[in-house]
Amino acid sequence: MSFASPIFLWYFMPALLVVVWLTPRSARNLVVALFSLLFYVWGAGTFVFLLLACIAVNYAAGRLVEPGRGGASERSRKLWLAATASFDVGILAIWKYGTFAQQQFHALVHDFGGSTGSVLRIALPIGISFFTFHHLSYVIDVYRGVRPAQRHPVAFVTYIAMFPQLIAGPIVRYHEIADQLPERRPDRLGDFAAGFPRFAHGLAKKVIVADSIGPIADSIFALSSNQLTTPAAWLGALAYALQIYFDFSGYSDMAIGLGRMLGFRLPENFARPYSAVSITDFWRRWHMSLSRWFRDYLYIPLGGNRGSAGRTYFNLYLVFALVGFWHGANWTFLIWGLYHGSWLVLERVTGYRSWADERLRVLRRLFTYFVVVVGWVFFRAPNLHAAGSMLQAMFVPRFGPLPDTVTAAANTQRTLTFALALLVVLIPGRFVLGRFLEASTSRIGSLARVGVTAVAAPYAAVLVAAGTFSPFLYFRF
């Protein structure tokens, strides 16, 4: 179930809100947990049993790895932690990477002249990357003694399955939310009012902007290599850069807003990433919850930057290879991760990352944006060959008219949305529209916030409802 769907907006949410408000404050977690499982089963069907099994295993493991547990030895806790982490990673490996691994094996055997049976296709459970990382965060935080193990199964299910963050994040580390789980929020209407504008702004970013720009990018990434021209390739890469930002940050805004409506404060996930002045800076602003997760649970345990320069570079490469692969089982994602890892290493080697933010700010910002946009080509292309064709068209000048498929996709409305979105991400970094709308305490700020909500929410609602319209041509029959 997508947040930007009629079933979610006008059936699921009203039902949830009514039940939340009609039940005692103490029942919040139970209501959220039950509705979250319903949310999951709606999109994932029987995979809900996999989710529940993982929840059960990790809930039990939390008690076993907790420090001071009935005299359990450090060694035993460590073993339980290793076993649980292996279980979680194994689940992810099988369901997310199993098909890919088989394909590579079959290709390898084929290359050596052998033959194999058919590839067993394994369906990908929705949200598996997210709930696996939540589980790992939980057992590691508990093992480290950062937070005690969760005693209440309902609260644990609420943390893992909480629908606002279940399918697209943000990735909430356990210690960020553990203290919120037992809360009985005194001002539920206040929470609801605080969350709604954020949700509406996110919905607008997703539905009005990202979904409008998406077809432009889709039409260009679908071109064959002989149809690609340099302007078309850049248009496609820029369109995808905008689409993924407004889509993903819009989803995060919706998640944070929904969480807030229910009395949870979820961590921020974006901080104007296209204002970054370096790739190091970019990763402090893009998918921040993922960066923090990898930093806390992998980069620092590997030694972070405390060892030699070589060791630090190795750690960075390893982490970003995994960051890339986490996004999908395809070589394109791995290359994308390594591409970013390489820039991070380069910025360390040259000392570029230590430059003051203001130094050559505009040029550095444009260069960073350029690097990021080029990187998105690997992320979006269906395979490395397609990515190569796209990059070749971007950097080896080749001109010609835009193919009809592109001009058909880039209608007036979408072109205008694309231009405005590009303007928004390229305006000076000090003027942050989202921050103004979110945090300004002035009367004008309040008016702008409510005004934008009052326009954006209904327009987004119209697009969501109208987007379901699918008549059949031969209606006269």
473 binds another protein (CB under 8 A): yes
Annotated active-site residue 152? The verdict is no
Q: Which is nearer to another protein, 6 or 148 (CB)?
A: 6
Q: Determine, following the binding rule CB under 8 A, whether residue 17 of this chain makes contact with another protein.
A: yes
Is residue 54 within 8 A of residue 88, CB to CB? The reply is yes
Are 202 and 253 in contact by the 8 Å Cβ rule? The answer is yes
Q: By C-beta, is 333 or 369 nearer to another protein?
A: 333
Please give the residues from 94 up to 113 whose contact with another protein meets the rule CB under 8 A: 96
DSSP 70-108: TT--HHHHHHHHHHHHHHHHHHHHHHHHHHHHHHHHHHH
Select from 316, 302, 311, 323 the least CA-distant residue to 353. Answer: 316
Part of the chain binding another protein (CB under 8 A), chosen from 54-62, 310-318, 391-399, 448-456: 448-456
Q: With CB under 8 A as the contact rule, which of the stretches 62-70, 167-175, 297-305, 341-349 interacts with another protein?
A: 167-175
Q: What residues from 305 to 334 belong to the interface with another protein (CB under 8 A)?
A: 326-330, 332-333
Among 370, 411, 420, 431, interactor with another protein by CB under 8 A = 411
> Which 64-93 positions form the footprint of another protein (CB under 8 A)?
none
Rounded distance between C-alpha atoms, residue 160 and residue 169, angstroms: 11
Least spacing, CB of residue 120 vs another protein, in Å: 16
Our CB check for another protein shows the closer of 10 and 105 to be: 10
Q: Which of residues 34-63 bind another protein (CB under 8 A)?
A: 41-43, 45-46
Tokens encoding 398: 């080749």
Backbone angles phi, psi at 135, to 5 degrees: -60, -45
Q: Is 440 in the site for another protein (CB under 8 A)?
A: yes
| Residue 163 in the binding site for another protein (CB under 8 A) | no
> What residues numbered 211-230 form the site for another protein, per CB under 8 A?
211-212, 214-215, 217-219, 221-222
Number of residues that bind another protein (CB under 8 A): 119
**Least distance from another protein to the Cβ atom of residue 469, Å:** 5
Q: Minimum Å distance from CB 57 to another protein?
A: 21
Pairwise CA distance, residues 137 & 84, whole Å: 11
Calpha distance 164→120 (Å, rounded) = 32
Helix axes 153-161, 47-65, angle to 10 degrees: 120
CB nearer to another protein: pick between 304 and 445 = 445
- Point out the catalytic residue in the list 135, 287, 327, 340: 327
When asked if residue 266 is in the footprint of another protein (CB under 8 A), the reply is yes
Residue in 164, 267, 324, 375 binding another protein, rule: CB under 8 A? 267
- For the bound state, the minimum distance from the C-beta of residue 131 to another protein, rounded and expressed in Å, comes to 11
413 vs 269: CA distance, rounded Å: 29
Question: Whole-angstrom Cα distance, residue 276 to residue 281?
Answer: 5
Choices 28-36, 64-72, 152-160, 283-291 (CB under 8 A): range interacting with another protein: 283-291
Spatial distance between the Cα atoms of 418 and 356, rounded to a whole number of angstroms: 32
Among 14, 301, 307, 400, binds another protein (CB under 8 A): 14
Amino acid of residue 408: A
Closest C-alpha to 219, from 407, 417, 420: 407
User: What distance separates the 2 farthest-apart alpha carbons in the chain?
Assistant: 77
CB of 69 to another protein, least distance (A): 28
User: Alpha-carbon distance 101 to 91, whole Å?
Assistant: 14
Contact between 387 and another protein (CB under 8 A)? no
Question: According to the binding rule CB under 8 A, does residue 242 interact with another protein?
Answer: no
Q: Give the residue from 352, 240, 177, 255 showing the smallest Cα distance to 4.
A: 255
Phi, psi of 411 (to 5 degrees): -75, 180
Residue with smaller CB distance to another protein, 47 or 80: 47
Yes or no: say if 252 and 269 are a contact pair by the CB < 8 Å rule.
yes
User: Any contact of residue 145 with another protein (CB under 8 A)?
Assistant: no
- The minimum distance between CB 466 and another protein, in angstroms, equals 4
Among 30, 57, 93, 124, binds another protein (CB under 8 A): 124
- Smallest gap, in angstroms, from Cβ of residue 2 to another protein? 5
User: At closest approach, how far in Å is the CB of 60 from another protein?
Assistant: 26
Which residues neighbour 338 within 8 Å (Cβ) at sequence distance 6 or greater? Answer: 317, 320, 321, 324
> Virtual CA dihedral for 155, 156, 161, 165, nearest 10 degrees?
80
Of 62 and 267, CB closest to another protein? 267
Q: How far apart are CA 318 and CA 295, in angstroms?
A: 12
**Nearest residue (CB) to another protein, 81 versus 220:** 220
Please identify which residue in 260, 340, 364, 365 interacts with another protein, judged by CB under 8 A. 260
* Pairwise CA distance, residues 123 & 411, whole Å: 36
**Residues 344, 96: Cα–Cα separation, whole Å:** 27
Q: Is 450 in the site for another protein (CB under 8 A)?
A: yes
Q: Are 167 and 127 in contact (CB under 8 A)?
A: yes
Amino acid in the structure at residue 174: Y
CB of residue 77 to another protein, shortest distance in Å: 27
Tokens of 5: 């769907």
Would you please indicate which residues are annotated as catalytic (active-site) residues? 327
